[in-house]
């Protein structure tokens, strides 16, 4: 099966499994989504969703967050990985939003990536899920599955993102990245599948004889 045919099959099967995938991070607006995605680095969405209700009680918009100290923010998010760095980033980006963007999250990849603690993946999530702009955020699940499915050589997430954007139509990116994440968590996780066990891996490569060792991002 050629790469484009595999991509078409992946899109079809994931559309059947997850026709309307929900955004896994709880949020109410672009700002709370931005903060939630920032908090999800090296942490599960489930853990983030446990912490953010208390964080929104502390401050749910940039101006309110600016009035809180890093120590107050840290006290709330301490259960999460990299909490000290994340607390500083949340405080810092909130101040920038107030001072430079009238308290609004900018609708620009370039401006988002300049914010403290906001990398390319976080900015991509905000662009596609908060503003509906086409983007293909690549996390560890997507990076791993793109390799298992023969859609990317996967040396790094930047290359994986570029490969997937070439294979899938632009109007599918925003939904497809969520569908792949859900499939990776539920059926083709790092431990549960090695490229030979889950239904989609077997359908794409029915004659595969050896496990796939995926490259880390």
- In the numeric block, which tokens belong to residue 174? 């925003």
Q: Where are the domains of the chain?
A: 3-21+136-204, 30-129
Q: Which residues are catalytic?
A: 121, 139
Contact 101, 126 (CB under 8 A): no
CATH of 30-129, one of 1.10.340.30, 3.30.70.600, 3.20.130.10, 2.40.50.100: 1.10.340.30
Residues 6+ apart with CB under 8 A from 186: none
Over the chain (217 residues), what is each successive 10-residue block's mean pLDDT? 96 98 97 98 95 98 98 98 97 98 98 97 97 94 94 90 97 97 94 94 95 79
User: What backbone torsions phi and psi does residue 167 show, to the nearest 5 degrees?
Assistant: -85, -30
CA neighbor of 76 nearest in space, from 96, 56, 98, 97: 56
CATH class, 3-21+136-204 region = mainly alpha
Write down the pLDDT at residue 213. Answer: 83
DSSP classification of residue 168: S
CA 174 to chain centre: 11
């Amino acid at each position: 099966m050629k790469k484009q045919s595999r991509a078409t099959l992946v899109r079809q099967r994931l559309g059947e499994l997850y026709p309307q995938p929900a955004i896994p991070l709880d949020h109410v607006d672009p700002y709370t989504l931005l903060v939630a995605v920032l908090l999800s680095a090296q942490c599960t969405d489930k853990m983030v969703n446990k912490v953010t209700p208390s964080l929104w009680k502390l401050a749910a918009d940039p101006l309110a967050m600016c009035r809180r100290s890093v120590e107050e923010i840290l006290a709330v998010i301490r259960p999460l990985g990299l909490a000290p760095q994340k607390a500083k980033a949340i405080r810092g980006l909130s101040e920038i939003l107030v001072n430079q963007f009238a308290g609004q999250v900018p609708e620009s990849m370039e401006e988002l990536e300049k914010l403290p603690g906001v990398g390319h993946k976080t900015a991509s999530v905000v662009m596609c899920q908060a503003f509906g702009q086409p983007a293909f955020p690549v996390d560890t699940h997507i990076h791993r599955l793109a390799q298992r499915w023969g859609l990317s050589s996967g040396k790094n997430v930047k290359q994986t993102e570029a490969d997937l954007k070439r294979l899938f139509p632009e109007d599918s990116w925003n939904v497809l990245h969520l569908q792949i994440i859900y499939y990776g968590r539920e059926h083709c996780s790092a431990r549960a599948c090695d490229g030979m066990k889950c239904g989609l891996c077997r359908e794409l490569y029915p004659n595969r004889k050896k496990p796939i060792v995926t490259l880390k991002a």
